[in-house]
Structure 1
Amino acid sequence: MKLKKNRIFWIIAAVSVVLDQLTKFWVLQNFELDESWPLWEGVFHFTYVTNTGAAFSLFSNNGGWLRWLSLVVSLGLMALAWFSPRLNKWEQMGYGLILGGAIGNGIDRFFLGHVTDFLHFTLINFPVFNIADVSINIGIVCLLIVALKTPPQQSKGKARK
């Protein structure tokens, strides 16, 4: 079965989507828009905001195309895991987290017209984000680890001395 080949990828993607959607559901049930609950006063708050744009509210005035981008990225990552040879564990984790984040934010974009954000580091006035954003960023770090661990390929010509 093809799902077994990159099992870690599929599991991580599914867990990421579920965590993202459960936390967003909790926020929608318990917060008013722009309401903030300090977990550590002046450092970290849960602050419910919506974002029609991309990360850091980029393209927020014209972000409708982002729903289609998340769909294309999601389908591309699923095709990668389905049709490629077995990925190593870091690649599976990285691509799985990115897929989970793309699906999580994509669900919001298609069904709500915006992304629900609520994690807010107030100490450094960092933009408010969500679990899907965290998944995507950790996924990128996993792929960077793969890139840094993989030795550069030798050219087939003469070896350098």
Structure 2
Amino acid sequence: MNYLLVLLIVILDQASKVMVQSKFLVNESVPIIKNIFHLTYVQNVGAAFGILKNQKMFFILMTIFVIGGIVLFLHKHKNWHKLVPYSLSLIVGGAIGNLIDRVRLGYVVDFFDFRIWPVFNIADISIVVGAVLLSYYLIFLDKVHN
């Protein structure tokens, strides 16, 4: 696990969310590139795409379980291709960023709005990039590494 990467993701995520909350009203939107990319402050009480709305305790417990599982997995299995701990560190950093929101606020702060996709944040980007890198490893590199 790359704890520095995890910390960097959490700091960037939380700082960006604090900035959005201090400058925007809920559902306020500012076009950066009109009709393509906006900054829109949304309070997401669900998961990706707003599914499972108002299941705060479920998301908190599942996130803690997943983070704990990843940390234990990486400490138990240390002989991985370097892409694995980096991808899992991105996932954990993003998960912690959104977990902080759920515990502190009861919802996740989202603000990147491309109009053709649900609004998201830096933690979401980190989770998706980590999952893509992990998938790449599992599909293409796992057979080479083992």
What TM-score results when the alignment is normalised by the length of structure 2?
Answer: 0.91
Other-structure match for 1:150: 142
The alignment status of 1:140 with 2:131, answered yes or no, reads yes
Structure 1 unaligned regions, length at least 5? 1-5, 155-161
Does residue 42 of the first structure (1) align with residue 35 of the second (2)? yes
How far did 1:93 drift?
1.4
Counterparts of 1:7-26 in structure 2, within 5 Å, are 9-26=2-19
How far the C-alpha of 1:61 sits from its partner, in A, is 3.7
Q: Which of 96, 104, 108 is 1:103 aligned to? A: 96
Report the Cα distance in structure 2 between the residues aligned to 1:14 and 1:153, rounded to whole angstroms. 28
The question of 1:70 aligning with 2:63 is answered yes
- Identity, % of aligned positions: 37
Distance of 1:152 and 1:11 partners within structure 2: 28
Counterpart for residue 159 of structure 1? none
Q: Which residue of 1 aligns with 2:84?
A: 91
Render the CA deviation track for 1:33-88: whole Å, top value 9, x for unaligned: 00111111110011000111110000014343101111111122222233321432
Q: Tell me, which stretches of 5 or more residues in structure 2 are unaligned?
A: none
Corresponding residue of 2:22? 29
Deviation at 1:152, TM superposition (A): 7.7
Letter in structure 1 aligned against 2:90: L
RMSD in angstroms over aligned alpha carbons? 1.8
Where is the helix percentage greater, Structure 1 or Structure 2? Answer: 2
Tell me which structure has the larger Cα radius of gyration. 1
Question: In structure 2, do the counterparts of structure 1 residues 81 and 10 end up closer, same or farther at CA, with 3 Å as the change threshold?
Answer: farther
How far 1:153 sits from its partner (Å)? 9.8
Matches within 5 A, 1:1-12: 6=1, 9-12=2-5
